[in-house]
Structure 1
Amino acid sequence: RDSTTDKSAECCGYPVSIFFIVVNEFCERFSYYGMRAVLVLYFRYFLRWDDDLATSIYHAFVALCYLTPILGAIVADSWLGKFKTIIYLSIVYAIGQIVMAVSAINDITDANRDGTPDNMAVHVTLAMIGLILIAFGTGGIKPCVSAFGGDQFADHQTRQRSTFFSVFYLCINAGSLLSTLITPILRGQECGIHTQQKCYPLAFGVPAALMVVSLIVFIAGSGMYIKAAPQGNIMLDVCNCIGFAIKNRFRHRSKRYPKREHWLDWANEKYNKLLIAQIKMVLKVLFLYIPLPMFWTLFDQKGSRWTFQATTMDGTFGTLILQPDQMQTVNPILILTLVPIMDRVVYPLIRKCGFNFSPLKRMTVGMFLAAMAFVSAALVQIQIDKTLPVFPSSTESQLKIVNMASSQMEVTISPHDPIVLESFRSRLKASDYMTLPNSTITVSLNTNPPIIKMFPLSERQRHTLIIPADPNTAYVTFDITSKPEQGSNAISISNSVKSCTFSKMFRFGAAYTFLIPSTLNLTDNCGASVVEVEDIKPNTVHMALQIPQYFLITAGEVVFSVTGLEFSYSQAPSNMKAVLQAGWLFTVAVGNFIVLIVAELAKLPDQWAEYVLFASLLVAVCIIFSIMAYFYTYINPAEIEAQFMQGDEIDPEDKEKKAIELKSKDFVQQQNEQVGKTKM
């Protein structure tokens, strides 16, 4: 504790300082998850990267966010302390969010036809700088804020401390839920300086503002905080001990040196036996971590592949229209629902039935549930693929014909059979697209006299042949050759008059052409004279079909993540919880790197096949983990530590310090069980 502050001001038995910390955490989590919710769509539809590159960069960013906590913990515990680390890295964090908002501003008047800004290199550079700053900011403060909150309580405030952690992590999930609902709505607004487009500056700007508010709130409570001085970082001690053992072992490779029971025993010359025994316990748990990254490989694709999947689905829920990136809110909602159900209903019921549902068995079940979630996603993708249009290949073109003349028309396009089209006033749809080679086509119109015209077609393009009231003026237009972006609609108007107002209800993912006769009398009913041509059918697979996969992945998260942290902490020494926390976060980072590698290397032609690949990999890893779990022997770290404390090799001061640590083990366990129930 800070020598100048023995006790902070209290309100209702709680330190006033914790209210600043709770608000700070809510705003920070809102900022992070709000930005992350729309990030993959920003890559895909603003920076114009393809799905694989957008997915790769998204997961590289998430991986970096889970690597930097190790750096933050070392800096806080060894040099700056938690308070200064939070302040400095929050400034870095806020700057990163602001840079991201600026990177999404497209003020170029002559933007390309597809909306891509001409100075793309500037936007990409700013985005990458912003993401790196955010990753160092959010990752660096992650291990500091909750521990700093715990520092505010006196030893007699155990109950208040427990309540604080519950509220603290409720704020994490609340910030995640609200931001994932709100920022997609902000993204969906139309804004722009010169051209109207999806409002990514606003979607990134609001999280940036919340991060600034988070920093201001945290600084506002500065005078009330209890600030513990840096005590040294146990992770550095662990790494140094392991490094010395390896170095010493290879230094004494001669046979005249007797073998030792464990390779870590080669550190006995420099480190005490208690520390070596503690590291052995930690390494035993870290060995079980080896298969775990595969779970996170699947889990974190909620924000990438599953969001892309939602853009090809129908998000109409009655009067509520859900944006594709808003489907991610299902996860925090289910977390808040499933955690108490599992703790108070499912697990007790399993115990009453006499089953030994051990922690490692729970984790195995969690991995299997995540694999089943991707099987469910594959089944949904197969249904979506059946509804997607077939676009022309590199050697093909596609053409449909619309008859706007006042009479029936027979049209022949060699080598196809003649097509009979009803007149414009018959209110019939246009012909379906026909696939043609990339060449100039000859069109014969059965008029009196017959009309023969030639039109060039472009490769990989869709075209519409429009036959006006005067067939001699027939012409060809270009249609879009992809699903409308972000699950929205695409509209084109042909032969529009000076003023014509009509209403139309559009559906997700559809593309339409509206044909308005050039001879339209404006005194007529405009809407009745306009013909709607459906170029691309709307999304017909409903987003509700994603709910089963979200339920399975979230149930897997609750069983796997919560249980995994509780198991890890129960099997490790009380002074090395941070080491295991770092190891756990490292598995998340590795899992996201695996997505990056698979997305770039697999290149499977069908998305459902990639889902099945990931599910198969996790099932295989699940089997390996279950075998490792079968041979694992549970230990009681407190008993092992107590045995070593009886030895003469421990300094008396170290014994006293260790006894205090063991005494407080129950509290540490309680605190860290709360950590397991959160969205980290």
Structure 2
Amino acid sequence: MEASDFKDDHLLKFKKIGNKYPVSVIILVVVIWLHTMCCNEVKDRLVNENYLQQIFEGAMIVLAFTGATFTDSWLGKYNALIGSIIFLIFTQITIIVKESLIKDFYISWIFDIFGLFFLSLAFCIQMSCEYCLAGDQFPLYQVKERKKIFSSLYLSTTFGILFADIFAHLIWVSKWFSKSYSLLLSGILMGTMSLILVTILWCKKFFFIEHPKGSALLEIFKCILFAMKNKLIHCSWKTPKRDHWLDWASEKYSENNIKAVKLFFRLLLFILPFPIFWALVNKQERKWDYQAIQMSHILYPNYDAIDLDSDQDVFQLRVSSSTWFKKEEILLEEKTIYLLILSGKETLYSITLMKEDYEKPENGLAHVRIFNTLDKDIYIMLLVDTFRLQKHNGYSPQLSIRISRKVNLFYMIEEKKEVLQLKAGLLKFGSSYLLFIIQHVPVVKIHKVKLVQVKSFSVAWQFPQLFIKDLGRYFLTISCMEFFYYEAPKGLKVTMTALWTSTLYSSYIIMNFVSYISLLPEWIEYFLISCILLSIITAFFIISYYYKESYRENPSSEFTIIGNR
């Protein structure tokens, strides 16, 4: 009796719903929803800085492969899922200890790193183990049922992320968040994760658990090294050639083992374009998010409406502290948006009223207004001209210029000439910015404010493209999960699935790297992105056209790497 026949006979003993779906997969759907919601809630609280996000993404790439290898070789999918929940509980413990006991900044930072490590382990194990564990609960012939469960798992993950985002948004918007409430929220999350752990342990009897039999990946590397070594030994022109260089391992390894190694390389070739593909997709998603913010009239300086008695009205503005008092009159016009800027110190405090600029900068330019809050004159130098910003003396000297979004600005203070660090790529085409020069020693520091212009378009115009994008992501994710579950050799299913899911996180690193080194005009940049994306899609078509799915050729057998001739 073959291994697959034994597995199918064993699965018939487990309780099923409607004679189709095992109870274990229904439990997994609910558990994954709660698990994903807790994971993302903890991630939103822990990963709150850009450098922490990059550390998390880098850890995900490394730990996804490492954790999957240990899962396939020694832990097993069921034990790895339990480990993922335990790591998530450890993450929450570090957050509770940090928020309730730690006051020192450096010790708090160390706790953040530990929390990120546990969170990365929980995340990298979660998705690949859950899908592969769910796939193991079905006999080989139940292809349709397995597809539906994979779809349910994806939707469960999506709704978990959605609920976590809504929950986090309600907390921050509603001013509920305080130290006591933070600890209460941590306690609720700890209780939920403990409930998930108890549920998985108590329902173990409903799961089919396939125990690992050692490192299949190690056997693959041994087969590769033996084939290379044997080929070098028999490199004479008199030696008959073989169809494939891996065929040189046939003296030691069986035909099935060599086929599995070839399959491993084919799967790696299939994974190869995905990091760049996801990077381009994520870059476009960020662009759509930015457009949605503009189209939905969500502005960054929050505006307050003031009722006027006529076309123009005068208002008194009073600014005071414990030691000084200042009063000014401001003239406001109807149907106009103003920016009120307070700068300086006490008696030299200035009040500047500035009309919002609606005119869109043309020809790839950005509108930049620079305010001098220092007590020294500043010279702003462009390639063709030099501008003087007088020192702050009871009013805010300002400079309004239109420049290319990639250009460098130079400044000079007391004969010291330096570059004004605007960070190339952060000035967007057709946007307006405020730069406040707030410090001189040891280096000039600026505070940059982006003004989002109000648009007349409804955000509903984005719904069709977002729907198509999310639908494409759904079909792609489900197809790839099913593909790797079927195609990966026995003992490598979690590993190959984790390699594919890690491309989602490697894409963020690629995108961040490209955004820092990009020096091209924006329209050229997006044209190149479109061309690269089209070439990658073409590569996918070519790979899929020539790829032969192994389980369709022989659906009743599974490759095994363990065991030589």
TM-score, normalised to structure 1, is 0.52
The Cα of 1:233 is off from its aligned counterpart by 4.9
Residue in structure 1 matched with residue 175 of structure 2 by the alignment: 190
Residue in structure 1 matched with residue 425 of structure 2 by the alignment: none
Q: Which amino acid is 2:85 matched to? A: S
The 3 A distance-change label for structure 1 pair 285 and 193 is closer
Residue in structure 1 matched with residue 65 of structure 2 by the alignment: 70
Which string of whole-angstrom CA distances, capped at 9 and with x for unpartnered residues, describes residues 218-254 of structure 1?
1232354443322345444333322332344345555
Decide which of 520, 530, 548 is 1:635's aligned counterpart.
548
The Cα of 1:536 is off from its aligned counterpart by 9.5
Residue 72 of structure 1 aligns to a residue in which SS? helix
Residue 455 of structure 1 aligns to a residue in which SS? coil
Residue in structure 1 matched with residue 114 of structure 2 by the alignment: 129
The Cα of 1:279 is off from its aligned counterpart by 2.9
The 3 A distance-change label for structure 1 pair 619 and 26 is same
The 3 A distance-change label for structure 1 pair 249 and 124 is farther
The 3 A distance-change label for structure 1 pair 233 and 59 is same
Residue 101 of structure 1 contacts residue 202 of structure 1 at CA under 8 Å; is this kept in 2? no
The 3 A distance-change label for structure 1 pair 18 and 237 is same
Give 1 or 2: higher strand fraction: 2
Give 1:341-360 correspondences, 5 Å limit. none
Residue in structure 2 matched with residue 31 of structure 1 by the alignment: 38
Residue 60 of structure 1 contacts residue 596 of structure 1 at CA under 8 Å; is this kept in 2? no
Residue in structure 1 matched with residue 225 of structure 2 by the alignment: 243
Residue 89 of structure 1 contacts residue 141 of structure 1 at CA under 8 Å; is this kept in 2? yes
Q: Which amino acid is 1:432 matched to? A: M
Residue 441 of structure 1 contacts residue 457 of structure 1 at CA under 8 Å; is this kept in 2? no
Between the aligned partners of 1:193 and 1:619, the Cα distance in structure 2 is 48
Which string of whole-angstrom CA distances, capped at 9 and with x for unpartnered residues, describes residues 93-152 of structure 1?
2212443465567986xxxxxxxxxx4433433222212211112212433233334445
Residue in structure 1 matched with residue 501 of structure 2 by the alignment: 585
The 3 A distance-change label for structure 1 pair 612 and 234 is farther
Residue 63 of structure 1 contacts residue 592 of structure 1 at CA under 8 Å; is this kept in 2? no
Residue 432 of structure 1 aligns to a residue in which SS? strand
Q: Which amino acid is 2:510 matched to? A: I
Q: Which amino acid is 2:354 matched to? A: D
The Cα of 1:625 is off from its aligned counterpart by 5.3
Residue 29 of structure 1 contacts residue 172 of structure 1 at CA under 8 Å; is this kept in 2? yes
Decide which of 455, 466, 474 is 2:393's aligned counterpart.
455
Residue in structure 2 matched with residue 170 of structure 1 by the alignment: 155
Residue 242 of structure 1 contacts residue 267 of structure 1 at CA under 8 Å; is this kept in 2? yes
The 3 A distance-change label for structure 1 pair 580 and 228 is closer
Residue 439 of structure 1 contacts residue 458 of structure 1 at CA under 8 Å; is this kept in 2? no
Q: How many percent identity over aligned positions?
A: 22
Residue in structure 1 matched with residue 535 of structure 2 by the alignment: 623
Residue in structure 2 matched with residue 349 of structure 1 by the alignment: none
Residue 76 of structure 1 contacts residue 85 of structure 1 at CA under 8 Å; is this kept in 2? yes
The 3 A distance-change label for structure 1 pair 93 and 405 is closer
The Cα of 1:561 is off from its aligned counterpart by 4.3
The 3 A distance-change label for structure 1 pair 272 and 208 is same
Residue 211 of structure 2 aligns to a residue in which SS? coil
Q: Which amino acid is 2:393 matched to? A: F
The Cα of 1:583 is off from its aligned counterpart by 4.0
Q: Which amino acid is 2:222 matched to? A: N
Give 1:131-280 correspondences, 5 Å limit. 131-152=116-137, 164-190=149-175, 209-250=191-232, 252-253=234-235, 257-280=239-262
Residue 58 of structure 2 contacts residue 505 of structure 2 at CA under 8 Å; is this kept in 1? yes
Q: Which amino acid is 2:268 matched to? A: L
The Cα of 1:82 is off from its aligned counterpart by 2.5
Residue 393 of structure 2 aligns to a residue in which SS? strand
Residue 95 of structure 2 contacts residue 115 of structure 2 at CA under 8 Å; is this kept in 1? yes
Residue in structure 1 matched with residue 90 of structure 2 by the alignment: 95
The Cα of 1:28 is off from its aligned counterpart by 0.9
Q: Which amino acid is 1:592 matched to? A: Y
Residue 228 of structure 1 aligns to a residue in which SS? coil
Residue 37 of structure 1 contacts residue 184 of structure 1 at CA under 8 Å; is this kept in 2? no
Residue 71 of structure 1 contacts residue 140 of structure 1 at CA under 8 Å; is this kept in 2? no
Residue 245 of structure 1 contacts residue 266 of structure 1 at CA under 8 Å; is this kept in 2? yes
Between the aligned partners of 1:185 and 1:567, the Cα distance in structure 2 is 38
Between the aligned partners of 2:222 and 2:505, the Cα distance in structure 1 is 23
Between the aligned partners of 1:616 and 1:590, the Cα distance in structure 2 is 20
Residue 59 of structure 1 contacts residue 595 of structure 1 at CA under 8 Å; is this kept in 2? no
Which string of whole-angstrom CA distances, capped at 9 and with x for unpartnered residues, describes residues 146-188 of structure 1?
3334445578988766654454343222222222222222233
Q: Which amino acid is 1:21 matched to? A: L
Which string of whole-angstrom CA distances, capped at 9 and with x for unpartnered residues, describes residues 258-281 of structure 1?
443322122222211232234324
Residue in structure 2 matched with residue 540 of structure 1 by the alignment: 454
The 3 A distance-change label for structure 1 pair 405 and 582 is closer
Between the aligned partners of 2:467 and 2:11, the Cα distance in structure 1 is 47
Please say if 1:602 is aligned against 2:510. no
Aligned length in residues: 445
The Cα of 1:27 is off from its aligned counterpart by 0.8
Residue 440 of structure 1 contacts residue 457 of structure 1 at CA under 8 Å; is this kept in 2? no
Between the aligned partners of 1:243 and 1:205, the Cα distance in structure 2 is 52
CA RMSD, 1 decimal: 5.4
Residue 64 of structure 1 contacts residue 589 of structure 1 at CA under 8 Å; is this kept in 2? no
The Cα of 1:8 is off from its aligned counterpart by 4.6
Q: Which amino acid is 1:597 matched to? A: F
Between the aligned partners of 2:558 and 2:462, the Cα distance in structure 1 is 47
Between the aligned partners of 2:18 and 2:536, the Cα distance in structure 1 is 51
Between the aligned partners of 1:291 and 1:189, the Cα distance in structure 2 is 43
The 3 A distance-change label for structure 1 pair 621 and 286 is farther
Residue in structure 2 matched with residue 613 of structure 1 by the alignment: 525
Residue in structure 1 matched with residue 78 of structure 2 by the alignment: 83
Which structure 1 segments of 5+ residues have no match? 44-53, 109-118, 317-323, 325-383, 390-401, 407-420, 443-453, 462-481, 483-510, 512-534, 642-657, 663-680
The 3 A distance-change label for structure 1 pair 102 and 311 is farther
